[in-house]
Structures are given as C-alpha cells and as structure tokens.
Amino acid sequence: MAESTTQRKPLAGWDKPDLDLSRAEWRSSSRGMGDVQIAFVEGFIAMRNSDRPESPSLIFTPVEWGAFVSGAREGEFDLT
C-alpha cells in the first residue's frame, strides 16, 4: 500500500521546520472565493486546499510568500 502523504519524510534540501498546524488559524479570502486557505505559523506562511484540509500544506518563508503574492498580483499565474 502507498505511504500516506501526511507521513512522508521531507525532501532532501527541505529547509523548513515541521510545523504543528493543528492549532493554526486558517483564513480564507475576504471574498470567500476559491478553495485556498492560509495560516501564519511560527514565522512561516502555510497554504492548504480548504476542500481537503487533511492533505499536505505548502510552507512559505516570508520572502517566498512575498514573491508569490507579487507574481499573483501581476498575473503570473493567470491560466486563462
């Protein structure tokens, strides 16, 4: 049987801590649109799919988050 994605070991070169997200205060967009939530935990930003909260979260440093948000605002990820 395949190993659960929530129990996999970090990838080589992964330099982010194993954050405890069990008490994270997840936030949705102010418009309530989309299925992404974020939480600020221990100086990092976690992002998850609100439709599947048990699935792994993406973890960003503040610099990575800033770059992601800037790219999104500039349409870098617009797939239409």
13 pLDDT more than 60: no
pLDDT of res. 10:
52
Query: pLDDT tens digit string along 18-59?
Result: 888 999 999 987 666 668 899 999 999 999 998 898 888 999
Q: Looking at residues 11-18, what average pLDDT do you find?
A: 66
Note if the pTM is more than 0.75. Answer: no
pLDDT of res. 50:
87
Comparing 3 with 49, the larger pLDDT belongs to 49
Strand boundaries in the chain, DSSP class E? 36-41, 44-49, 58-60
62 pLDDT more than 50: yes
Whose CA is closest to 52, among 32, 30, 33, 37?
Answer: 37
Whose CA is closest to 63, among 51, 55, 71?
Answer: 71
What is the SS3 assignment for 68?
A: helix
* Residue that is written with structure tokens 């967009």 in the block: 29
